[in-house]
Amino acid sequence: MRAASTVDGATSEAPVGDRYRWIALANTTAAMFMSALDGSIVLISLPAIFRGIHLDPLLPGNVGYLLWMIMGYRLVQAVFVVTVGRLGDMFGRVRIYNAGFAVFTVASILLSFDPFQGAGGADWLIGWRVLQALGGSMLMANSAAILTDAFPVDRRGFALGVNQIAGLAGQFIGLVAGGLLTIWDWRAVFWVNVPVGVFATIWAYRNLRETGIRKPGRIDWWGNVTFAVGLSAVLIGITEGIHPYSGHSMGWTNPLVIAELVGGAVLLVAFAIIETRVAEPMFQLGLFKIREFAAGNLAGFLTRLAQGGLQFVLIIWLQGIWLPLHGYDYADTPLWAGIFLLPLTVGFLVAGPISGTLSDRFGSRRFATAGALVFAASFVGLMLLPIDFPYWLFAILVALNGVGVGMFSSPNSSSIMSSVPASQRGAASGMRSTFQNTGTSLSIGVFFSLMVAGLASSLPHTLTTGLEQHGVPTGVAHQIGALPPVSSLFAAILGVNPVRELLAPTGALAHMSSANQATLTGHTFFPTIVSAPFHTGLVVVFGASAVLGLIAAIASMTRGGPQCD
334 shares a domain with 195: yes
pLDDT at res. 64: 75
Find the angle CA(263)-CA(264)-CA(266) to the nearest 5 degrees.
Answer: 65
Q: What CA–CA distance (Å, rounded) separates 488 from 537? A: 14
511 shares a domain with 390: no
pLDDT at res. 527: 86
Q: Which of 135, 7, 16 minimizes the C-alpha distance to 77?
A: 135
Is 1 within a domain? no
Q: What CA–CA distance (Å, rounded) separates 296 from 416? A: 6
Q: Which tops the pLDDT comparison, 358 or 59? A: 358
CB atoms within 10 A of CB 562: 10
Is 396 within a domain? yes
**Which residues, in sequence order, are bridge partners of residue 6?**
11
Is 8 within a domain? no
Single residue among 249, 281, 313 that ends a domain in this structure? 281
225 shares a domain with 189: no
Is 4 within a domain? no
Is 564 within a domain? no
Radius of gyration, CA atoms only, the chain = 24
| 537: enclosing H helix or E strand | helix 525-557
Q: Which tops the pLDDT comparison, 259 or 436? A: 259
Is 481 within a domain? yes
Q: What CA–CA distance (Å, rounded) separates 432 from 209? A: 23
**Mean pLDDT highest for which of 395-399, 429-433, 484-488, 522-526?**
395-399
Task: For the chain, give the mean pLDDT.
Answer: 82
Mean pLDDT of 481-505: 74
Domain span at residue 369 reads: 14-219+282-454+537-557
276 shares a domain with 423: no
Q: What CA–CA distance (Å, rounded) separates 496 from 427? A: 44
Q: What CA–CA distance (Å, rounded) separates 253 from 391? A: 40
Band (298; pLDDT cuts 50, 70, 90):
very high
Q: Which of 538, 180, 526 minimizes the C-alpha distance to 336?
A: 180
Q: What CA–CA distance (Å, rounded) separates 120 from 563? A: 52
Side-chain-side CA neighbours of 376 within 13 Å: the count stands at: 18
Least confident of 378-387, 390-399, 515-524: 515-524
Q: What CA–CA distance (Å, rounded) separates 315 from 49? A: 17
Does residue 14 have a pLDDT over 60? no
Residue 254 is classified by DSSP as -
pLDDT at res. 123: 92
Band (215; pLDDT cuts 50, 70, 90):
low
Band (212; pLDDT cuts 50, 70, 90):
low
Single residue among 260, 281, 302 that ends a domain in this structure? 281
pLDDT at res. 316: 82
Does residue 367 have a pLDDT over 80? yes
265 shares a domain with 277: yes
Residue 322 is classified by DSSP as I
**pLDDT tens, residue by residue, 301-325:** 999 888 877 877 888 888 888 998 8
pLDDT at res. 564: 53
pLDDT at res. 11: 45
Cβ atoms 169, 345 nearer than 8 A = yes
288 shares a domain with 277: no
CB atoms within 10 A of CB 164: 30
Does residue 63 have a pLDDT over 80? no
pLDDT at res. 217: 67
Does residue 101 have a pLDDT over 90? no
pLDDT at res. 7: 36
Is 116 within a domain? yes
Does residue 47 have a pLDDT over 80? no
Single residue among 281, 305, 328 that ends a domain in this structure? 281
Is 241 within a domain? yes
290 shares a domain with 168: yes
Cβ atoms 114, 199 nearer than 8 A = no
Burial class (CB in 10 A: 0-12, 13-18, 19+), 221: exposed
Does residue 562 have a pLDDT over 60? no
Cβ atoms 469, 460 nearer than 8 A = no
| 392: enclosing H helix or E strand | helix 391-418
Least confident of 190-194, 409-413, 533-537, 560-564: 560-564
231 shares a domain with 116: no
Q: What CA–CA distance (Å, rounded) separates 106 from 333? A: 31
Cβ atoms 374, 400 nearer than 8 A = yes
Global pTM reads: 0.79
Q: For 47-88, what is the HEC assignment?
A: HHHHHHCCCCCCCHHHHHHHHHHHHHHHHHHHHHHHHHHHHH
392 shares a domain with 244: no
518 shares a domain with 494: yes
Domain count, the chain: 3
Please report how the helices 18-52 and 310-317 are oriented relative to each other, as an axis angle in degrees rounded to 10: 50
Cα 548 to chain centroid, rounded: 17
**pLDDT tens, residue by residue, 514-559:** 888 888 888 888 888 888 888 888 888 899 899 999 999 999 998 7
**pLDDT tens, residue by residue, 144-195:** 788 888 888 777 777 777 777 777 677 777 777 877 787 788 888 888 888 8
328 shares a domain with 288: yes
Cβ atoms 523, 321 nearer than 8 A = no
Mean pLDDT of 451-464: 80
Band (378; pLDDT cuts 50, 70, 90):
very high
**pLDDT tens, residue by residue, 247-269:** 777 788 889 999 999 999 999 89
Q: What CA–CA distance (Å, rounded) separates 556 from 132? A: 33
373 shares a domain with 509: no
**What φ, ψ does residue 16 adopt, rounded to 5°?**
-125, 155
Cβ atoms 479, 508 nearer than 8 A = no
Task: Supply the CATH number for residue 387's domain.
Answer: 1.20.1250.20
